[in-house]
Each structure stands twice: as C-alpha cells, then as structure tokens.
Structure 1
Amino acid sequence: MFRTGAQFMLLALLAGLALLNQSRTEPLAAWDNGFADFLAMNSQRGAAPSPVALVGINNSSLVNHPWPWNPLDFSLFFQSALPLKPGVVAVDQVLDWERAIVLPEDQNRKLAQYEKILRDNILRAPKMLLGSTLGIPEDPQVIPPLQEVPLLRNVRGSISEIPEFTAIELQPSEAYRLSSTVGFTNMPLLHRHFNSVPLVLRYRGQVTPTFPLQAVLLWAKLTPDDVTVQIGSYIDLGKKFHIPIDSAGRMRVDFGVPFSRFGLDDLLLASEQKEAGRKPIVPLDQLTNSIVLLSRTDTVSRTIPLAARRNGSPGELFAAAIATIQAQSFIQPAPEWAQYTVIGVFMLLSFRVPRMKKGKTIFCAVLVLAAYGLMALAVFARWLVWMPGVVPVGIVAVCVLFRIVTPDSFGKPKRPVIL
C-alpha cells in the first residue's frame, strides 16, 4: 500500500516518465495533438486577421444555386470579388465540366456560352489559382504522358517519404489552365485528424508545390525558383517566409490564426450594398490585396476531421494553412526540459495527496488541472508552445485512483496508548 508522501511522489515520477515516453506514439500522441489544437483555438490572439478570405459555398449559397455549378455560377463570384482588387483569386474546385463537374443534360446546351463568360472573368483576375489533383493510373503498366507542372528545384534531403504520383487525375480545362496557375489539392490518406497539411508532393520523382503553398507564392510575388526546401526541416520562400515541415513535407496548421470568412451569398449581398452606397454586411475592405479563396463549406463537403473533433472541408483546412504561413504562426511542442519540469511539479504536488480525504482529493485534482490549463493557454499565447496534456492528466488520474482505493486514515499519526 502507498502510505507516505514520498511513495506517492515515486508513483507520480514513474507514471509521468511512462506517459512521456508513450505520448510520442499513438494513441496518446493524438490526444496530445488534440490538446495543442484546443490551446490554439482558445488562446487570446491580438493580431489582425491574416490577408486571406474564405468565401464559402455553404448551405445557404446552394439554395439559389444548387450543386453542381455551371460556369455561370462561378462567374457570379468573380463579378463580386474582382472589383475589390484582391491580390490572388483561388478556386480549389477542378473547373472541368467533362470529368470533375458533371452537369444535368438540360444545362449542357449553353455550356460553351457560359464557359466563355467564366474564361473572360478569369482573364480579369490579377493572379489566378485553380485546383488540380494528382493520381495513379488504374493500370500501373500504362504510364500516361508527362505533363507540365510547377516544380521546386532547390530541394535538399531525402524525398522518399513525400507522397508520389504518376498522373494528373483531374485538372481544369485547357482554356482555364493557360490563363492561371494550378495547385494540387491532394490530401493525405488514413489520417484520423487533419491538423497538418502537405506543402509539397512528388510528380514523377519531381517535387511540386501544393495548393496552399502555391497560393502564398502568388500572393508574395515569388516563383518556384525562389523556394528552398530542406526536407524534414523547413521551406524558405525567398527571404519572406520560413516554414517548418516534417519529413513528409507537411506543415502543422494553427487553427487559431484569425482570417476573414463568410458565405458567397453574403459576398453577393455586400457587393450590392456597396454599389448602392450602403454599409456592407461583411468587411469587404479586407479582401483588397488578399488571397480570396472560393471553396465548398456546405455540410456535404465537410468530410475531413479537423481540430476540436469537428468535421470540416478541404477549403477550410487550406485557408487555415495559408493564414498560418502568412502570420508565421508555427506552434511547437514544449522542449524536453519543460516536459520534465511538469513532471517534477506534479511530483511535488502529489506529496500532500496521502493526507487528503477522498472527496477533497478529487476537488483538488480538478482545481490543479484547471490551473494547469490556464497556465498552458498563457504559455501558448506568449510563445506558441504547447505544454504536454497527457502527462499531467495521467499523473493526476493515477494519484487520485490510488488515493481512492486506500483508507482515509493512512498518513495520520497514531495516538499513543496510555496504560
């Protein structure tokens, strides 16, 4: 039986070291990452919104314009966004009405006319980014013709862990590709939670930027030749941005970075209000010189698990990733010395556990964890460093459990027997 404070301190030390070791592997690693996402989304941010705006094709937008959209539906977005002088206009949908977006038969009669209208709008955009996807042929023996894609040539380190593809599965129609830049929207497979996003992929052995990285390149007025990639360490965009990445070319996303977000129907209404000289319902001035991303955010599109255990759309992830790069808000785990310090502090706190009653032990455990959470929020807001979440919760749980299964009387001095 554990009867002294020293024994509880030893128990806390052993539990903390074991949890610290296991928190680097699943499933505890996912729980710690979830705690980091919680800190990111609940910490106080005093910075102004990043210059990226997500214009969502949400449920209300689809009431008057049901999916699938024809080129005329997309043109409405351009007609409202372009007068606001955005720096980059981005659409992550693949604008191909033969394979990617299949229209009902009655709309195909005017498709050529609608496509010309959309093409004219795309030509008016200052810088245009369109979504495309890489893939692998169904028959691996048949290799499709090599196609031109943006390539990053200043790459150092092993690229073996970067996902590789041998074909372009979907891409915009040629008329749109010639007047725009493409960005690949492939998402990593078999992920439980998408708190990171790939910034580079491989096409036929060559490294190519993904959609969010390409958007930032266009916005920062950089070319792929300005990019330096050190696999497993960083991506440098000239002297403007430094982005940490892992060995698979992924960047951790800070979902707490503020950015503008509203529905397409709100944008259309706000544009009409501005033309009429009235105050718009959304801050349209934030779109000027920003990256304006049109993407589906309706219920059907929310298929990937994002932070805070909620489902979201790829467009939401891309917008958060772009905002993370623009704000240079890269969250990092606490260094090892800080993690061992946490174990030491909870060891000292466990010294008093044997002398507490069971009910008081539970109350104090909740109070200590709440105080730790507030401290972790303050540390994150100051340094973008997340303190461990699994270790303190595990230590407290172990100590409380052992206190509950031991009698209330232990730890109290026995009264001398007077004969």
Structure 2
Amino acid sequence: MQRLLLAIVILLAALLLARDPYVEKADAFFLDWLLRNTQASRDHVPLTVVEIGDGPIVETQPNQNAPESSAGSRISGGISPLEFALFFQAILEYKPTVVAVETLLKWRERDKDQEQVFLDQAMRVPKLLLSAELTSTPDPDALPTEIPGFVHVSGRRGDLPTFTGIQRQPDEDLRLISSLGYVNLPNETATRVPLLFNYRGEVIPAFALQAFLTWARIPMSEVQIEVGSHIALP
C-alpha cells in the first residue's frame, strides 16, 4: 500500500513539473542538444545545398517596401532570371535527380525579358520543385486554390500550422513545368521545423518533406501519417 501511495505521489509530482515553464525549456534544450549530437542510424540522402545570394527581391510599387516573408522563406528579387539560368546550366552537368529551389521565384518587372532564358534551362531539369507561401488571411475576392493532401492521416489536425490560402507563388508558366513546396516555417528553430501543414482541412507536406517524396518517388497516397507521432513511408 505504501509503495502504491509513493508511486502516486511521484506521478503527481512529475505531472506538476511537466507543466512548469522552466522544466519545459530545459526539456527543449536537451532535445535540441540530442538532435544536434546524435548521428543518423541510416544512410543520408544525397543532398547538396547551394546558396545563391541573399538580397530580397519581389515586385513592388514605387516607394513601397517588399513584403515580409515568413520565417525561413526568401524572395528571389536580388538575383536575375539569367543568373538562375546559368546556375541551372552548370548543375545539370552533374545530372541531379531533383532540383529544389527554396527561394520564391517571383521576378521583377524589369527582369521579365530574361525569363524565357530561365524557362529554357528549367525545362531541362528532370524534376523541379519550386517554393510558394501560404497564408491564413487570403484575399476574400480570390478563388480558393485546391492543394491535394495526404490520404491516410490520423491524429489532431488542429495541432498543425493552419492556412487557408496561397499568398505568393511562381507565375503560371513556371508552375506548369514544376511542382510546388510550401516554405512557411512558424516557430522555426535551428533543429526543428514543421514537416506538415493544415491547408483548408487537408494535411499537406512542407517544402523539405515534398522534396524528399519527390526524390524518393513516393506518392502521397502511400504515406501513413499520425499527427504528433510519426510519418510512415512505404
């Protein structure tokens, strides 16, 4: 009987400590340390990360500042379509399976004359993944855009970052030769970012997960998801 009471007291104390903000911060710090210092148990995905400049560009009106992008996303305004085209031409010599561009490709009006040069190179890429941004406050006059989601999903979808519209995306001619991944990363940390978003009731992949599924050739209909627990791949 005494052991049972002791176990109950320990359990209640643990529950109280778990709700303490200092304990939560310590737990998050330990988890971040663990993620940074734990070696992957399996082979790494063959991945090369290339950063092309850091100047924000987005088409704006005179005397108007470029709109702020969400955490982790950038706008491709400081780099011209010609520079991206030259980059694509160079990397195609290495025969990449997938080229994923996290920078939002939204050209300035003065660069429109170079866009065809970029399109000619982009069409040579085997699989091209471009970025787009979601929003929770879409234009009420705009028609909602449907985004296909995962089929096999269980768990609380309300715990995921929720969006109801598309804020920015590449022009239609680029969308026709590519697929889209979404780069909204709320509450981003150095070691953890969301892999899933809730878009109008559908669970959709974030940019990084979409890039992996594209590389691995895994259709979304074969992915099993339990929100808050795991993502099971075939």
Q: Same fold per TM (> 0.5)?
A: yes
User: Corresponding residue for 1:405?
Assistant: none
User: Corresponding residue for 2:148?
Assistant: 150
- Are residue 89 (structure 1) and residue 96 (structure 2) matched? no
Residue from 17, 31, 47 that aligns with 1:52: 47
CA distance in 1, matches of 2:228, 2:40: 29
Instruction: Provide the TM-score with structure 1 as the length reference.
Output: 0.44
1:59-74 map, 5 Å: 68-74=78-84
Residue from 170, 173, 187 that aligns with 1:172: 170
More helix by share: 1
User: Corresponding residue for 1:226?
Assistant: 222
Provide closer, same or farther for how the CA distance between residues 159 and 42 of structure 1 changes in structure 2, counting only shifts above 3 A. Answer: closer
- Residue 227 (structure 1) shift: 1.6
The AA in structure 2 aligned to 1:223 is P
User: Corresponding residue for 1:137?
Assistant: 137
- Residue 225 (structure 1) shift: 1.4
Sequence identity (%)? 37
Provide closer, same or farther for how the CA distance between residues 21 and 77 of structure 1 changes in structure 2, counting only shifts above 3 A. Answer: farther
Q: Indicate conservation of the 8 Å contact 2:183/2:206, yes or no.
A: yes
1:215-364 map, 5 Å: 215-237=211-233, 239=234
Give aligned pairs, total.
203
- Residue 51 (structure 1) shift: 1.2
Q: Which structure has the bigger radius of gyration?
A: 1
Unaligned runs of 5+ in 1: 1-13, 60-65, 240-419
1:66-91 deviations in Å (ceiling 9; x for gaps): 96111112112211211101111000
The AA in structure 2 aligned to 1:153 is V
User: Corresponding residue for 1:36?
Assistant: 31
User: Corresponding residue for 1:116?
Assistant: 116
User: Corresponding residue for 1:159?
Assistant: 157
Identify which range, 171-180 or 154-163, moves more after superposition: 154-163
- Residue 48 (structure 1) shift: 6.0
- Residue 23 (structure 1) shift: 5.1
1:156-182 deviations in Å (ceiling 9; x for gaps): 233122222121001011111111110
The AA in structure 1 aligned to 2:33 is F
Secondary structure of residue in 2 paired with 1:130: strand
- Residue 216 (structure 1) shift: 0.7
CA distance in 2, matches of 1:148, 1:224: 15
User: Corresponding residue for 1:390?
Assistant: none
User: Corresponding residue for 1:80?
Assistant: 90
RMSD: 2.9
Instruction: Provide the TM-score with structure 2 as the length reference.
Output: 0.74
Q: Indicate conservation of the 8 Å contact 1:94/1:171, yes or no.
A: yes
